[in-house]
Structure 1
Amino acid sequence: MSSPSQSFALAGGPVLVASDGTAVSHEALFNAGRLVSSAFGGPLEVIGVCEPMPGGAAGMDVLPVPAELDEARRANMLDDLRRSVNISAAGDPSWPITVLVGSPARTLAAEADRRGAALVVMGIGRHNPLDRLFGTETTLATLRESRVPVLAVGPSFPAVPTHAVVGLDFSVASVQAANLALHLLAPGGRLTLVHVRPRFEHPSADWQAWDVEYGRTLPPLFDQVTAQLDVPRGVTVDTVTVRGDPAPALLAYAQQANADLVAVGTQRHSLYERLVVGSVTTRVLRTARVGVLAVPATG
């Protein structure tokens, strides 16, 4: 049986590096694209999405924006991306560059699906509220729409990670996240499977018995997952169990372990759940100080 990571790699789809041409972290963004392209064999392509100008109000009517204006803005973004690729030490002028007009998140997700992309690489803002609004939130919105994995990186993301932490809830998506993360690690790297147990605070005998039984189930579950992993030669896999709320506990461990990458699996939820309830992935992406690999379940 082929592993989840092999199913992505064998697809040979392109790696899409998404940017608007103004990011200050192009070195990390392009390096991450090269890393994924090398690991999974797909060509690297740069893509930008120019959000259309809203129509202007004129009394009770809305005046449409002339098509020439959106085209001019699209052309400007294309020039910015070409310049970024040309001046970046990590860039390559031979990379195909495309700029589309539309809603960034929906357009990126749809384009990734149409092209059969292996993965989308995006920036993750951390320096100020505008970074978080226009960087991280666009990345989050894309992830919610996307059917392919998304790797979100900041300026400090290394050319090749040496330690990845995977949030393991034993779902198909989390195992796929582990398999993908394995192939992004440097030779001699380390992958840590981290399962977050529920915080146990109830004093009743029934709850204590349940907690003990829960603990007994974990070693065989870890064994089942590690048996499914396609571990590259020289990479070490270990397992850790912590207690607490999933996202904060996972990120606290990643920080303590000096990890370069946090990988999580995502599930398809209803619109209400996506907009209101929130998810572990959302909290991780909004607060992580390292790269985040988010992998939707494919089966």
Structure 2
Amino acid sequence: MYDDVLLATDGSDTASKAVMQGFEIAAKFNASVHILCIGAHAEQANGETSVIDAADSAETIIQTAKQKGRDFDVGVQLAVRTGRPHQEILTYADQQGIDLLVLGTQGRTGLRKLVLGSVATSVVREATQPVLTVSKNVTNVRSTFHEFLIPTSGRPGTAAAITHGIELSAAYSARVHAVYVVDDTISRAPAYLDTVREFGREATNAVAVQSASTGVGTMRQILRGDPATKIQEYIGSHGVDLVVMGTERRTGVDRLVLGSVTERVLASAPVPVLTVRAHET
């Protein structure tokens, strides 16, 4: 599924965990690894902009990456970029034909430090490639995955994420959890809840049918409550080790809109979250 995996890092603890997770995935698919060290521009008190000197940190990251490449027996390409972090990541990914981006959701802050963190949201919003994010709450780097959670809204924008998630679960011989959350924060009227619950059954059944066609087992679940909260609870109660979610563009809006549910989940999930952008029509 993946031939070239981009690991963007600033050397922070969360980014380092993301790098390790990226190496595990690259090794699984015998993919080449691209390590991109990201520096940033700092605005001085006088309003002028200067480049943060990240040479020492970058050198440490590079040497560590070379060793990890040997440990995992994968090819490693190294690059250092200084500028607007999310734009440098996106540009590199497009130029190098990257098919999976991996990064942490919390990076270093402060003068003379590399910066990566808030840019994760921007990358997820704008990247055309799948993006795997690792939050500060992820404690373990996984050598494999067994339980995939694919939340579905039944909207066309989730189709690409569902297909990608099922294909990836098949590669890992994992099980898919197809989950639909009835959002009762909108309304608790019985007619509304019944209608939405039936829509959820149809949506999760569609995931199960698609999974079965590839030999992937599926659990279906209809939940009720705040979607982001229920997804987080489900992760913990069902041993989920990877979440796959979709992002999409809204009609008439040029910038990709990252739904509040997806954004909340990827910011604090205790497991990696893979976001997949909807196919544009």
* TM beyond 0.5: yes
Matches within 5 A, 1:27-176: 29-36=19-26, 38-39=28-29, 42-55=31-44, 57=46, 62-63=47-48, 65=50, 73=53, 75-88=55-68, 94-125=75-106, 136-153=117-134, 154-176=138-160
Instruction: Identify the residue that residue 194 of structure 1 maps to in structure 2.
Output: 179
Percentage of pairs with the same residue: 22
Does structure 2 conserve the Cα–Cα contact (< 8 Å) formed by 1:28 and 1:156?
no
SS of equivalent to 1:32 = helix
SS of equivalent to 1:96 = strand
Matches within 5 A, 1:267-286: 267-268=248-249, 270=253, 279-286=260-267
Does structure 2 conserve the Cα–Cα contact (< 8 Å) formed by 1:74 and 1:99?
no
Deviation at 1:259, TM superposition (A): 0.8
Does structure 2 conserve the Cα–Cα contact (< 8 Å) formed by 1:30 and 1:90?
no
Cα distance, 1:158–1:90 mapped onto 2, change above 3 Å = farther
How far apart in 1 are the matches of 2:21 and 2:181? 31
The unaligned stretches of length 5 or more in structure 1 are 1-8
SS of equivalent to 2:120 = helix
Matched letter for residue 165 of structure 1? L
Does structure 1 conserve the Cα–Cα contact (< 8 Å) formed by 2:182 and 2:200?
no
State whether structure 2 residue 193 is matched by structure 1 residue 211: yes
Instruction: Identify the residue that residue 245 of structure 2 maps to in structure 1.
Output: 264
Does structure 1 conserve the Cα–Cα contact (< 8 Å) formed by 2:14 and 2:105?
no
Instruction: Identify the residue that residue 220 of structure 2 maps to in structure 1.
Output: 239
Cα distance, 1:279–1:124 mapped onto 2, change above 3 Å = same
Matched letter for residue 13 of structure 2? A
The unaligned stretches of length 5 or more in structure 2 are none
Matched letter for residue 194 of structure 1? V
How far apart in 2 are the matches of 1:117 and 1:55? 34
Does structure 2 conserve the Cα–Cα contact (< 8 Å) formed by 1:52 and 1:102?
yes
How far apart in 1 are the matches of 2:123 and 2:165? 20
Cα distance, 1:271–1:23 mapped onto 2, change above 3 Å = farther
SS of equivalent to 1:53 = strand
Corresponding pairs, count: 269
Note the alpha carbon deviations across 1:241-262, whole angstroms, 9 max, x for none. Answer: 1011111111111111121112
Instruction: Identify the residue that residue 14 of structure 1 maps to in structure 2.
Output: 4
How far apart in 2 are the matches of 1:184 and 1:13? 14
- For residue 179 of structure 1, the aligned residue among 152, 155, 163 is 163
Cα distance, 1:198–1:13 mapped onto 2, change above 3 Å = same
SS of equivalent to 1:225 = helix
Higher helix share: 1
Note the alpha carbon deviations across 1:6-42, whole angstroms, 9 max, x for none. Answer: xxx4xx6521111123436636523434415644x64
How far apart in 1 are the matches of 2:238 and 2:248? 26
Please provide the CA RMSD for this pair.
Answer: 3.5
Cα distance, 1:229–1:114 mapped onto 2, change above 3 Å = farther
TM-score where L is the length of structure 1? 0.74
How far apart in 1 are the matches of 2:212 and 2:157? 15
Deviation at 1:162, TM superposition (A): 1.0
Does structure 2 conserve the Cα–Cα contact (< 8 Å) formed by 1:78 and 1:97?
no
Bigger radius of gyration: 1
Instruction: Identify the residue that residue 294 of structure 1 maps to in structure 2.
Output: 275
Does structure 1 conserve the Cα–Cα contact (< 8 Å) formed by 2:14 and 2:104?
no
Instruction: Identify the residue that residue 226 of structure 1 maps to in structure 2.
Output: 208
Note the alpha carbon deviations across 1:178-198, whole angstroms, 9 max, x for none. Answer: 333334447542110111112
Matched letter for residue 17 of structure 1? L
Does structure 2 conserve the Cα–Cα contact (< 8 Å) formed by 1:198 and 1:245?
yes
How far apart in 2 are the matches of 1:93 and 1:187? 19
Does structure 1 conserve the Cα–Cα contact (< 8 Å) formed by 2:153 and 2:200?
no
TM-score where L is the length of structure 2? 0.79
Matched letter for residue 45 of structure 1? H
